Amino acid sequence: MDLTTLTQTSGEWLRGTGPESDIVVSSRIRLARNLAQFPFLGRADDGVRTEIEELLQGPISSLPMKGELTYFDVNSLEALDRQFLVERQLISREHAETHGSRGVGIGPEENVSLMINEEDHLRLQVLRSGFALDDCWEEMNLIDDALEQQVAFAFSEQLGYLTACPTNVGTGIRVSVMLHLPALALTKEIQKVFQAMQKMRLAVRGLYGEGSQAMGDFYQFSNQVTLGPSEQELIDKLKEVIDGIIKYERRVRDELVVKNRQRLHDQVARAHGILSSAQTITSEETMHLLSSVRMGINLGLVDGLEIPTINELFIQTQPAHLQKLRNEKLESAERNVARAAYIRKRMGDSSHENN
Amino acid sequence: MDLTTLTQTSGEWLRGTGPESDIVVSSRIRLARNLAQFPFLGRADDGVRTEIEELLQGPISSLPMKGELTYFDVNSLEALDRQFLVERQLISREHAETHGSRGVGIGPEENVSLMINEEDHLRLQVLRSGFALDDCWEEMNLIDDALEQQVAFAFSEQLGYLTACPTNVGTGIRVSVMLHLPALALTKEIQKVFQAMQKMRLAVRGLYGEGSQAMGDFYQFSNQVTLGPSEQELIDKLKEVIDGIIKYERRVRDELVVKNRQRLHDQVARAHGILSSAQTITSEETMHLLSSVRMGINLGLVDGLEIPTINELFIQTQPAHLQKLRNEKLESAERNVARAAYIRKRMGDSSHENN
């Protein structure tokens, strides 16, 4: 598997077939780990970074998985390829933008991504389509246990796992769920959710993690606390909260359909109409319109389009993906034209009517 | 022919087949005439109005025409039917809204409309598709001459024809041309046209004459002067001015296509996409979007749609037309839904692709 292969496939988590997939796009668990015998990266010179990468490549390539792990030397990738991996949620923006020896091991179907030399020596990530935190955790446990048999992680009896940033100390876990909440966003009820999250010390972010905007009405919910509760407690707490938000979004959707079906149908149909006909379109407008169409499909207001197509379009219409698909570098204005053409093609492939 | 028949047909002038029809929607000439033996309508009581109507019905029904003249007793028509005739440009808003005995004789293919008891005793109107003022004038002359053999019009050797409003005294003529000027409107060049018209004492109005907004980038150009120059001189002057505006609009369209084809194509395609998919749409938005599509067709940016379809949609999507088509009274919100459904149907009928 190389990057070109990745452009022609899409991760399992994008299929949109998992539990509660009308609202939950994906579930993700990541662990932060550091090797005991090396300093944190903030104090590591280039040579040490290279040593860390070399040391970790062996253990991660022999992990128990259903298929082969592919390793990308991120440091030698071009900016476009790094951005491509970010858009695909296989590496973080920080990992793409930092310098020095680093890489990522990607598991079969893109369900596992193991970043070496991100903020910590090792960041383990397991991803699933839909609401499937238990599955994520089960696989993560296997991976973590297998690694601990081969390397010694920095660990304190008192604090737990030691990490570069104190906010990750303890379990080093971040449990997160990506939700599509167009109805809560449309009715501004999402503000109440934000307030509740703050009180429960849960974080809400946009599609690309820290600091990113909630484009397309996608919100990533995750724990902020890593020290104190066990991993299972953190997972269970987030599951409970997400359950409530799912019910909330579903109730507001149903109310909208009952009270304002015409307006909702109009919004969804126009979004579909514009996506099917625009000749140039920005990434932001695309997100916004795809969000409407996605909700419309789930509410039975759109015929002939499937959720997986929309999920893929969210990813494939992003700058680096577009350029990889076309196999050429494109300026912003050219991308807008290429994006519109690609969307028209995909909408045309899977939809034979606009009503 | 009754009103129901009218709803199922459309006037010749809507076909959009006349000269310069990419820009000139229609040409119109109207004459204001009053019977010598009756006072102007401002001084006429109900009895006199009725006498005038009865007296004029005979002469107008025996005019030399290619087909039958249909007479509508406007005073006994319901408000919806009167509005329908206004939307069809067969009577004026004033004629629809005034009170007392009045009517309209409508010629074959809706090319001729003869209003009795509008502002004057008689208003003769000849309409043609495209830029065809000479044809209008030719037919008008035949009608006017034939009438003068049967009735005596109020006429002064010094002033010419006498009219209820002094602005019409003399020739009693209004020569007007309806232009579609989306490129001049888009680039704001239309402001320069307005200034030039003012200097030349020509009037610019919207789709429905005096006081109406220039919705859908339609502008009606007409003479303001009726006293002094002959009818032919007034016609020739307007023809010359319109010729210049047509060239101006065409030049700006060509420039837009060369300099900004992508943006223009995008605007046109989105307008087409929204019209093909919206579930509710106001009259104003419809006008605006149809205007884009109309320009797009003329510039070769739209496939599978014809100008006559668009011209008809401009008329058929208006409030009274929609209600006549559906044969039921509809509130504003219901009309928006019916309008959207009708447009989707018509767009679907004549277009099999959205690209």
- Each of the 355 residues of chain B gets a pLDDT tens digit; together they read 567 666 666 676 667 778 888 899 999 999 999 999 999 999 999 999 999 999 999 999 988 787 889 999 999 999 999 999 998 889 999 999 999 999 999 998 899 999 999 999 999 999 999 999 999 999 999 999 999 999 999 999 999 999 999 999 999 999 999 999 999 998 999 999 999 998 888 999 876 555 555 678 889 999 988 888 999 999 999 999 999 999 999 999 999 999 989 999 999 999 999 999 999 999 989 999 999 999 999 899 998 898 888 988 988 999 999 999 888 999 999 999 999 999 999 988 654 443 3
Does residue A220 sit in the same domain as residue A74? yes
Taking residues A30-57, what's their average pLDDT?
95
Distance from CA of A297 to the nearest CA of B (A): 15
Give the CATH number, domain containing residue B178: 3.30.590.10
Return the pLDDT at A8.
Answer: 62
Whole-number Å distance between alpha carbons of A25 and B339: 37
- Residue B39's region, left for phi above 0, alpha for psi from -120 to 50, else beta, is beta
- In the structure encoding, which two tokens stand for residue A67, read together? 């298929």
- B33: tokens are 């005439």
Mutate: best of B257, B276, B277, partner A, most A CBs <10 A: B277
Which residues 6+ apart lie within 8 Å of B268 measured at CB? Answer: B292, B293, B295, B296, B299, B301, B302
| Contact residues for A127 (Cβ-Cβ < 8 A; gap 6+) | A11, A13, A26, A27, A28, A89, A110, A111, A112, A113, A136
Strands A160-161 and A173-180 turn out to be unpaired
Question: What is the extent of the structural domain holding A255?
Answer: 249-353
Task: Look at residue A21 in the predicted model and tell me its pLDDT.
Answer: 87
Q: What's the domain count of chain A?
A: 2
- Do A204 and A295 fall within a single domain? no
- Rounded CA-CA distance A256/A249 in Å is 10
Look at residues A246, A278, A293 and tell me which one is the last residue of a structural domain: A246
Question: A105: which strand partners?
Answer: A71, A114
Co-location of A253 and A241 in the same domain: no
Mutation for testing the A interface, residue in B275, B276, B281 having most A CBs under 10 Å: B276
Instruction: Clarify whether residues B165 and B258 are in a common domain.
Output: no
B278 reaches A (C-beta below 8 A): yes
Q: In this complex, do B273 and A269 lie within 8 Å of one another by their Cβ atoms?
A: no
- Please state whether beta strands A122-129 and A202-205 pair in parallel, antiparallel, or not at all (unpaired): unpaired
Same domain, B199 and B254: no
Option in B263, B273, B280 nearest A273 (CB): B273
pLDDT exceeds 60 at position A209: no
Q: Which residues of B168-204 are buried (b: 16+ CB within 10 A; e: fewer)?
A: bbbbbbbbbbbbbbbbbbbeeebeebeeebeeeebbb
Q: Are residues B147 and B288 in the same domain?
A: no
**Amino acid occupying residue A108:** P
- Is the domain of A238 the same as that of A257? no
Bridge partners of B105, per DSSP, are B71, B114
Predicted confidence band at A333 (pLDDT cuts at 50, 70, 90)?
A: very high
Answer whether A24's CB lies under 8 Å from A242's CB. yes
Residues of B with CB below 8 A from A344's CB?
354-355
Same domain, A86 and A125: yes
8 Å CB contact between A334 and A222: no
Chain-chain contact of A272 with B270 (C-beta, under 8 angstroms): no
A355 inside 8 A of chain B by CB: yes
Q: What is the pLDDT of residues A292-331, one digit of tens each?
A: 999 999 899 998 898 888 988 988 999 999 999 888 999 9
Same domain, A223 and A257: no
pLDDT in tens, A109-152: 889 999 999 999 999 999 999 999 999 999 999 999 999 999 99
> And the tokens for A1?
């598997």
* Cross-chain residue pair B270–A263, CB shorter than 8 Å: no
Chain A within 8 Å of B345 (Cβ-Cβ)? no
Distance CA A6, CA A15 (A): 15
A274 shares contact with chain B (CB less than 8 Å) = yes
Same domain, B88 and B221: yes
Q: How far does the CA of residue A206 sit from the closest CA of chain B (Å)? A: 28
Residue to test with chain B: of A259, A261, A263, A270, most B Cβ within 10 A: A270
Report the pLDDT value the prediction gives residue B162, as an integer from 0 to 100.
Answer: 95
**Dihedral in degrees, nearest 10, Cα atoms B260, B263, B264, B265:** 120
Are the beta carbons of B273 and A274 separated by less than 8 Å? yes
Does residue A201 belong to the interface with chain B, where contact is any CB pair within 8 Å?
Answer: no
Instruction: Tell me, rounded to whole angstroms, the distance of Cα A327 from its chain centroid.
Output: 24
Q: How far is B269 from chain A (nearest CA, A)?
A: 5
Question: pLDDT per residue over A146-205, tens digit each?
Answer: 999 999 999 999 999 999 999 999 999 999 999 999 999 989 999 999 999 988 889 998
In sequence order, the β-bridge partners of residue A27 are: A128, A177
- Same domain for B204 and B348: no
Q: Is the pLDDT of residue A3 over 80?
A: no
Q: Which residue of A has its CA nearest to B341?
A: A355
Position A67 confidence tier, pLDDT thresholds 50, 70, 90: confident
Q: Write down which residue in B184, B211, B246 finishes a domain.
A: B246
The overall average pLDDT reported for chain A is 90
pLDDT of A228: 87
Task: Please tell me if residue A265 touches chain B, with a CB cutoff of 8 Å.
Answer: yes
DSSP string, A158-184: TTEE--SSGGGTBT-EEEEEEEE-HHH
Residue showing tokens 């953190």: A234
Domain boundary among A202, A230, A246: A246
More confident residue, B13 or A45: A45
- pLDDT score recorded for residue A226: 85
The C-alpha of A352 sits at a distance from chain B's nearest C-alpha, in angstroms, of: 10
Say whether B270 and A278 touch across the interface (CB within 8 A). yes
CA distance A160 to A143: 18
How many CB atoms are located within 10 Å of the residue B321 CB? 22
Pair (A214, A287) in one structural domain: no
CB pairs under 8 A between A and B: 62
Distance of CA B249 to the CA centre of its chain: 20
Q: Which residue of B has its CA nearest to A264?
A: B279
Confidence of residue A213 (pLDDT cuts 50, 70, 90): low
Distance CA B310, CA A83 (A): 45
Alpha-carbon gap: A267 to the closest alpha carbon of chain B (Å): 8
Contacts of B164 (CB under 8 A, 6+ apart): B32, B34, B40, B41, B42, B119, B120
pLDDT at B355: 36
Instruction: Report the alpha-carbon distance of residue A339 to residue B69 in Å, rounded.
Output: 57
Residue B10 confidence (pLDDT) = 65
Contact at CB, B265 and A279, closer than 8 angstroms:
yes
